[in-house]
Amino acid sequence: GCVRPIRKHQTTDFTTTQYRDYRTFTVGKAQLKLNPEANCSIPGCVVYEMSTDAQDRIWLATDHGIAVIDDNAQLLKHMTTEDGLPGNEVLCMTWQDDGTLWVGTDRGCASYNQETWTVIEQCPQGIIPCVSTDTQGNVYIGTYRHGLYVYNGEDVERYHAYNSRLPHDMVTALTCDAQDRVWVGTGHGLWCMNTEGKVYTRENSGLLSSSIADLATDGHSLWIATNAGIARYKLACEPVMACAKN
């Protein structure tokens, strides 16, 4: 499962889910327990990602579409391919500054704004493991085997292992830091999309593995989840990797 803070200024509020046989959802400090009877109103068996909107509603990316719930885990809205999603298995999502929601599914990428879904036809209509945005309005779309696509609202530019420093065409994680640098995780290293475009691997940095599973920023650090442990990159100074084994 996954755990996410659901409010920026309340560190004790978290959401959590369990995959497949156990479907739980807890908000607050309560001890988490496996409960097959919990939240039967939430569609699907897997929650891949969670986020909140400006109204503090909780959005869940599930294996059966997008679910929107309140603090009590009551279902407010459920959206599937019948509502315009390209695929029902929603693997990732992120909010743009203008309030647009971007999602990656098992059948392509789409945006949601003013109650309307728009499928990005210029991108592969396959598995999209990750999406991210920057402050310039660009959308970064990581694909399962076709590299990275950058969408500026009209056109798409593709980066792959043969025309850039992208280590591998399977993009597993994306995030944008406070300096608007985009970090791209793959199974063969971490690429920073800036003027230098350095690639970090187990061999040339403090990473415990070159296989990147997830990325997150907190303003001062880049947190890097690998298949062998977690590393922290201090963004405000020279590259320093601090690692913690599983």
**Is a pLDDT exceeding 60 seen at residue 3?**
no
pLDDT digits (tens, 9 = 90+) for 111-167: 999 899 999 999 999 999 999 999 999 999 999 999 999 999 999 999 999 999 999
Rounded-to-integer distance, Cα 22 and Cα 167, Å: 37
How sure is the predictor about 48, in pLDDT bands with cuts at 50, 70 and 90? confident
Contact between 92 and 105 under an 8 Å Cβ cutoff? The reply is: no
Question: In the chain, what is the greatest distance between 2 CA atoms, to the nearest angstrom?
Answer: 52
Q: Which has the minimum average pLDDT: 17-26, 141-150, 165-174, 233-242?
A: 17-26
How sure is the predictor about 18, in pLDDT bands with cuts at 50, 70 and 90? very low
CB atoms within 10 A of CB 230: 17
Instruction: Classify burial at 29, counting beta carbons within 10 Å of its beta carbon; exposed 0-12, middle 13-18, buried 19 or more.
Output: exposed
Q: What are phi and psi of 108, to 5 degrees?
A: 120, -175
Tokens for 13, please give them. Answer: 């509020």
- Write down the pTM of the prediction: 0.83
Q: What angle do CA 80, 60, 152 make, to 5 degrees?
A: 75
Contact between 222 and 175 under an 8 Å Cβ cutoff? The reply is: yes
**Is a pLDDT exceeding 60 seen at residue 7?**
no
